[in-house]
Structure 1
């Protein structure tokens, strides 16, 4: 009997638990694979209900990307935007989080293994739906989901294994190089395009794939083509494609939201959201907030983990050591409500960067668990040995987003299950960058965006460094920071509390050892 491994579903990570460190035993077990006996024959049986399977896959992808771990952690905690310091024994977790910030991970890291398995499993499921005789739109939606998940495998790991549906367990999946995966994804999106719906900014529609979402993902690919294809320089033809795709999105009514920056992240209509997933946003709220910061539906308070670095905070305009109203900060840096202003409406928890004294909804000073004033510090001296108030906190989705009054509203279904992945301001900045890569001046486009953000003055000029900073200010904790830093050759640069710098091999994560054992066609990435 020949034992053949297949990728199988992994249990979704529970929102309110921090993942345990993975075992280093490299023996393939049933938790890693489906173990099948090779009979020498294999026939794919189409799915009985491809529409239901598509719905299930959208829900699964939403669950995969809602967690604070796995793809989110690899994309954000490994950057200068987020750090998870150990406070006492909290968030120690055998160094899982510190390894990400320090760039000292290895192929046994549990988040790396989980991401690999989850994304590749979704690719196979999407392929099953595509080949199951569903409608043209169902097939196009499945192609989009396959492209979406393959994009992240390509981006995070480089090599992409792929199994055809008519290949039995005696066939080791072929492995696409990064450049081949690029072409594969491009083909999927282009083939899906005619059968995808076209939609403007409508919260009831942008939860599924559309031509505009496909255009966005294609623009993201072309903007990063230099990285994915291993080219020496940005290609003008690729940059022009980015511009054309963004213009096509804009032509469908998407534009920069001018009615408040943080309003974009409420589960209501805005002019920016191109594609969102029905993903819980709880982790992106409570993983950062202190134990004593709470809301009516979460009286247990936050989990006191995720913070940001002082240098990232300092890239925004405003007072260097405070973020209260009147500190001169730009809108995107947010606000700490001190409740002395009637306009603050006793919200308690602020928006954006939370620094200094924190307040309860009744205007009183919040205390830490020792009864002292809860004052978040700007600096984090070390990754270990911190107090429970060490470090600024960072949130975009707010626990007090209003629930719609009308119980029949379609927004009820998406309330707090509304995680934005593609939005127009990102596309707008991609266009500005594409112009810059072609030798043009992106200043006017960047200032167009800034002009729609309160208290955000125009820039006199926009260099490459300034454009990267602007992407950080606009898109923080939206899963794109690692992608941006690599494209700007800054991912291996030094930043606060980071241990390993200057190692280009860290631009890719290692392929998990279990995957290498499962498929001899895979080759480990350099440096691991």
Structure 2
């Protein structure tokens, strides 16, 4: 009996020693992370497109806060409907209070969520080999420039709405980010430098009638148009006039420096169902009823277009 126990113990010890030499790292199939997500060109494109879908979703709050507090739009009551506790009236009369903080919070959080998504994709692309996906370094540079331009747009919205904001430029290295609100001038300079650099990295629209080929993508003209918005408001943002820079970029866009565009012969062509073919549109989010959630179901259309 004693001999059998010794043999049994020896077998257990041998099995234990054998297990100790086995690689127990798991190959997970139930979850997706960076290391197992990128397998094809389509995976790269899905990752790049994700922040754009999020940006589309943030239009509503910006529209509410920027337009209903200005003098172009008003949301009236309709036979007892649409009063919502006086919310829209308070925006119109500039008497909003803590009860109206939801839209403001959504605007703030929405931009930083988009910035985080852009940072994540930019850093992922920097760690991947384009050749593995049948792509070139130039393709990757364009993808990164797309996300950098979109990130600059998020920051431009924050600068316009809040002025003093933290500067977050990395998803993985938190030491590159500030844990405090930077001065408006620092945020302005970051946006300006990003857009000026991306103008040279983005694709240029080559001919009229090809807007559908670049719809939903940032082009040279798109980045230049964001710079126009930045310079137009520089005096308010940072107390410096940049109207000459604004006018120069506007003229460059009109002269086709960043690609050919032209004003349509109909005022509503840019808003029509086939506006993906309209050469007046410099940048637009692709959307179609039943195919993109934020167009109708997410209320972007109902809040903004009418």
Per the alignment, residue 173 of structure 1 pairs with 179
For residues 450-502 of structure 1, what are the alpha-carbon distances to aligned partners after superposition, in whole Å with 9 as ceiling and x for unaligned? xxxxxxxxxxxxxxxxxxxxxxxxxxxxxxxxxxxxxxxxxxxxxxxxxxxxx
The offset of 1:182, in angstroms, is: 1.0
Equivalent-residue separation in structure 1 for 2:267 and 2:254 (angstroms): 22
Equivalent-residue separation in structure 2 for 1:181 and 1:46 (angstroms): 33
Asked if the contact 2:69–2:94 (Cα under 8 Å) also holds between the matched residues in 1, the reply is yes
2:120 maps to 1:128: yes
Of residues 84, 87, 102, the one that matches 2:78 is 87
Structure 1 pair 47–183 and aligned structure 2 pair: CA distance change class (3 A): farther
Which 5+ residue runs of structure 1 have no aligned equivalent? Answer: 1-44, 288-305, 307-393, 396-528
The offset of 1:129, in angstroms, is: 1.3
Larger Rg: 2
2:272 maps to 1:266: yes
Number of positions where the alignment pairs a residue of Structure 1 with one of Structure 2: 239
Of residues 134, 153, 157, the one that matches 1:152 is 157
Of residues 88, 106, 111, the one that matches 1:114 is 106
Asked if the contact 2:167–2:187 (Cα under 8 Å) also holds between the matched residues in 1, the reply is no
Per the alignment, residue 143 of structure 1 pairs with 148
Per the alignment, residue 57 of structure 1 pairs with 51
SS in 2 for 1:203: helix
The offset of 1:102, in angstroms, is: 1.2
Identify, as 1 or 2, the structure richer in strand: 1
2:223 maps to 1:214: yes
Per the alignment, residue 276 of structure 1 pairs with 284
Structure 1 pair 235–148 and aligned structure 2 pair: CA distance change class (3 A): closer
SS in 1 for 2:285: strand
Which 5+ residue runs of structure 2 have no aligned equivalent? Answer: 1-33, 39-43, 127-139, 288-293
Structure 1 pair 222–145 and aligned structure 2 pair: CA distance change class (3 A): same
Equivalent-residue separation in structure 2 for 1:117 and 1:181 (angstroms): 17
The offset of 1:174, in angstroms, is: 3.3
Structure 1 pair 46–126 and aligned structure 2 pair: CA distance change class (3 A): farther
Asked if the contact 1:46–1:131 (Cα under 8 Å) also holds between the matched residues in 2, the reply is no
For residues 246-277 of structure 1, what are the alpha-carbon distances to aligned partners after superposition, in whole Å with 9 as ceiling and x for unaligned? 3454662201112x221221232122011001
Per the alignment, residue 445 of structure 1 pairs with none
Per the alignment, residue 202 of structure 2 pairs with 196
Mean Cα deviation higher: 81-90 or 275-284: 275-284
Equivalent-residue separation in structure 1 for 2:245 and 2:264 (angstroms): 27
Structure 1 pair 129–84 and aligned structure 2 pair: CA distance change class (3 A): same
What TM-score results when the alignment is normalised by the length of structure 2? 0.69
The offset of 1:88, in angstroms, is: 4.1
CA RMSD of aligned residues (A): 2.8
Mean Cα deviation higher: 247-256 or 271-280: 247-256
Equivalent-residue separation in structure 2 for 1:58 and 1:272 (angstroms): 21
What TM-score results when the alignment is normalised by the length of structure 1? 0.41
